[in-house]
Amino acid sequence: MAFDIDMIKKVYANMTERVDAARDIVGKPLTLSEKILYSHLWDGNPTKAFTRGKDYVDFAPDRVACQDATAQMALLQFMQAGKPKVAVPTTVHCDHLIQAKNGATSDLQHAINTSNEVFNFLESVSNKYGIGFWKPGAGIIHQVVLENYAFPGGMMIGTDSHTVNAGGLGMVAIGVGGADAVDVMAGMAWELKFPKLIGVRLTGKLSGWTAPKDVILKVADILTVKGGTGAIVEYFGPGATGMSCTGKGTICNMGAEIGATTSTFGYDESMERYLRATDRPDVADAANQIKDYLTGDAEVYANPELYFDQVIDIDLSELNPLLNGPFTPDLSTAVGSTMNEKAKANDWPLKVEWGLIGSCTNSSYEDLSRASSVAQQALDKGLKTKAEFGINPGSEMVRYTTERDGILEIFEKLDAKIFTNACGPCIGQWARYEDPKNAPKNSIVHSFNRNFAKRADGNPNTHAFVASPEITAAIAIAGRLDFNPMTDKLINENGEEVMLDEPTGWELPPKGFAVDDNGYLEPMADGSGVEVKVASDSERLQLLTPFEPLGDSITGAKLLIKAFGKCTTDHISMAGPWLRFRGHLDNIANNTLIGAVNAFGKKTNFVKNQLTGEYGGVPDTARAYKAAGVKSIVVGDHNYGEGSSREHAAMQPRHLGVAAVIVKSFARIHETNLKKQGMLGLTFANESDYDLIQEDDTFNFLDLNEFAPDKQLTIEIVHADGTKDTIKVNHTYNQSQIDWYNEGSALNLIKKENAA
């Protein structure tokens, strides 16, 4: 059902051959990250060494995982590819669209009532195209992947930034946008800039109140939220092997918070134990046969400075529990008196109102059992908890097992709310307030990963601090941000002073994992007869129609907006309330570029309609041009489209009739997304030509019929007074990308090739 052992054996068979070849070609010992990357090249055996941080390389990932919010557009696009089945094993997980309010049973039912058409759509598409489907309530994507699909030495991509969690089981697992997932599902190569490598040597041993979470909180403190950008973080050393597999998952999970491409650990006994405990002894056996290939070469770890671009040392024996926040995950404060000083200096509320335990980051059996050992002490020592507890287990298997073992009951005795096995409060899906925007200033502590303003409850005044589950439990009991369980006493109901003992727990359930219904639906072997239903009046889902090719003659195109300054994918396709329309291109297109500042007038969402002379919103103006059969042009500044890999930021302008985006420079992923949608993504050959663009400009492409790799294009710009400027623009299209353009989109081309 869950994993494909034959596929894994094939990966391992390739791995031995390819790693040996790569070592010869690179001419030095290899890190684990390099072993996985070189053994997953699209072209098979390595034939050249790649330059880290420079070369773009085509890879062949083993798996794809999608969550329910991002899967909608990814699957709608995949349906356009004309393939009968996905090309690599793929799963869909319903976890983001479930609100946390009253507790699991009623919250899950509410989610089903409100998002059933989305869940049904995802289920039927999954069934049709051979995709494993995890129902709402089955669990959070990354915990479920770790329990069922992750395997040492594998490569996977997922449409969620915390896909990196699977590094805890020795994978190179990377979060991507839907367009990349579609490529891989459709059997195309997946491109990535060959990452730089950061080595983290872990020595010593975790003990007492310190947990794996503190390792990544420390790394975030050292590297900051940008320090891992473009790099794989590889952990090694005796401290790494001494840690549980799920603890490693926590560390890799929060690699996303330092901007790392991904993080990973070499295969070791903790991973073998986890594989066997999660009913995958054959994966463990297969991994044991090629152990040396599933970790970095010994020479690398002996002299890491020679092989990594950067090396960080952390002695786990010296590490203390940390609280990171508020509002950013890299602001570290040691638990205890330092927090008292900092909170007073910064006016952070010292009173803690909630302690939330769970999310994809920290919801393993070990996490819940250790946190419950702290909670149990509140019961045993007559302590009344000062803050409220909320728990969201990572999977039904963890929930069922922790319920069976009496762990959840401990929290329930403290009046904890046990939320659905889903993201809930981690993604703003926490119905904590009637009116979150005007809710009071307060502090919460959670064991999640992100703590940006409004992330948990929509309240900009909630100060969220990230900590390990055990520290979260202790602080929730004490109700104070500056509580240090290692030194501070609490007063119990009898007026006695008591202290909390160090947490204890089990790495894995002593009686084994168990589950009644894990929430998994296996797709039909032949799904060709499955009908995917989308109501024509649905406001959340809309089947896509293929984009028409723009052709080799674009003339009379009107300027839609000249974006001024920063224009990220959030400016192009805003998130927040618009997330609801992620599966409905026409509806979500109503947010197109509404966050971009118009260079003329410096307002947002206020542009001139050249056909009427009137000013209006960007989407309405684009629709007016489209209705009149006039193509439109977007002009932008530097690094246009930075931010997320959201394909909506390219699909929406395309849907609204934008033919070309001409900018000083692009964020590369967005540039590629424009190409995939069959649009023109161009850069000014002469940057200052940006200044030539006026509000009433019309664009004529003079030599688009000669569109070819490495050849500039020429555009005539006709101004309102009839004067003209002729400019050159550069592009980075190779021949296959020009073929995408000629066919109207990459998916149109795949479909055509399939039909041939």
Rounded least distance, CB 256 to ligand F3S, Å: 8
Say whether residue 375 binds ligand F3S (CB under 6 A).
no
Question: Strands 680-684 and 658-663: what pairing?
Answer: parallel
From the number of C-beta atoms within 10 Å of its C-beta (0-12, 13-18, 19+), residue 705 rates as: exposed
95: annotated active-site residue = yes
Rounded least distance, CB 245 to ligand F3S, Å: 18
Say whether residue 111 binds ligand F3S (CB under 6 A).
no
Element holding 527 (H helix, E strand): none
52: annotated active-site residue = no
646: annotated active-site residue = yes
| Residue in 423, 561, 574, 633 binding ligand F3S, rule: CB under 6 A | 423
Rounded least distance, CB 735 to ligand F3S, Å: 38
> What gap in Å lies between CA 368 and CA 401, rounded to an integer?
11
Nearer to ligand F3S, 11 or 145 (CB): 145
Nearer to ligand F3S, 175 or 237 (CB): 175
Q: Which of 93, 96, 480, 540 is catalytic?
A: 96
Instruction: List the one residue out of 69, 61, 35, 21 whose CA is nearest residue 296.
Output: 35
| Residue in 62, 107, 123, 160 binding ligand F3S, rule: CB under 6 A | 160
Buried b (16+ CB within 10 A) or exposed e, 380-412: ebebebbbbbbbbbbbbbbbbbbeebebbebbb
Say whether residue 427 binds ligand F3S (CB under 6 A).
yes
Q: Which of 369, 372, 447, 644 is catalytic?
A: 644
Alpha carbon 508 to chain centroid distance? 27
Say whether residue 141 binds ligand F3S (CB under 6 A).
yes
Q: Which of 646, 648, 655, 670 is catalytic?
A: 646
Q: Is the dihedral of CA 97, 103, 108, 114 positive or negative?
A: negative
| Residue in 126, 359, 462, 591 binding ligand F3S, rule: CB under 6 A | 359
416 torsion bin: left (phi>0), alpha (psi -120 to 50), beta (else): beta
Rounded least distance, CB 223 to ligand F3S, Å: 19
Say whether residue 588 binds ligand F3S (CB under 6 A).
no
Instruction: List the one residue out of 608, 3, 532 whose CA is nearest residue 279.
Output: 3
443: annotated active-site residue = no
Rounded least distance, CB 119 to ligand F3S, Å: 16
> What gap in Å lies between CA 481 and CA 479, rounded to an integer?
7
Nearer to ligand F3S, 73 or 704 (CB): 73
C-beta neighbour count of 186 within 10 angstroms: 21
Say whether residue 333 binds ligand F3S (CB under 6 A).
no
| Residue in 426, 481, 622, 651 binding ligand F3S, rule: CB under 6 A | 426
Say whether residue 162 binds ligand F3S (CB under 6 A).
yes
DSSP codes, 127-190: HHHT-EEE-TTSB-HHHHHHHHT--TT-EEEESSGGGGGGGGGT-EEEE--HHHHHHHHTT--E
C-alpha torsion angle, residues 270, 273, 279, 284 (rounded to 10):
80
| Residue in 174, 181, 360, 651 binding ligand F3S, rule: CB under 6 A | 360
Q: What residues contact 27, with CB distance under 8 A and at least 6 apart?
A: 49
- Answer for the pair 34, 197: CB distance below 8 angstroms, yes or no: yes
Nearer to ligand F3S, 141 or 464 (CB): 141
Nearer to ligand F3S, 162 or 558 (CB): 162
644: annotated active-site residue = yes
Say whether residue 251 binds ligand F3S (CB under 6 A).
no
Say whether residue 93 binds ligand F3S (CB under 6 A).
no
Query: Where would I find the H helices in 658-744?
Result: 668-676, 735-743
C-beta neighbour count of 305 within 10 angstroms: 10
Q: Give the binding range for ligand F3S (CB under 6 A) out of 123-131, 138-146, 257-265, 684-692.
A: 138-146
| Residue in 18, 128, 142, 248 binding ligand F3S, rule: CB under 6 A | 142
Nearer to ligand F3S, 160 or 697 (CB): 160
- What residues between 436 and 475 interact with ligand F3S by CB under 6 A? 448-449
Rounded least distance, CB 122 to ligand F3S, Å: 16
DSSP codes, 575-617: -GGGGGGTB-HHHHGGGBTTTSBBTTTS-BS-EE-TTT--EE-
Say whether residue 140 binds ligand F3S (CB under 6 A).
yes
Site for ligand F3S (CB under 6 A): how many residues?
14
> What gap in Å lies between CA 385 and CA 415, rounded to an integer?
9
Which residues belong to the active site?
95-96, 160, 450, 644, 646
Which residues sit at the interface with ligand F3S, rule CB under 6 A?
95-96, 140-142, 160, 162, 359-360, 423, 426-427, 448-449
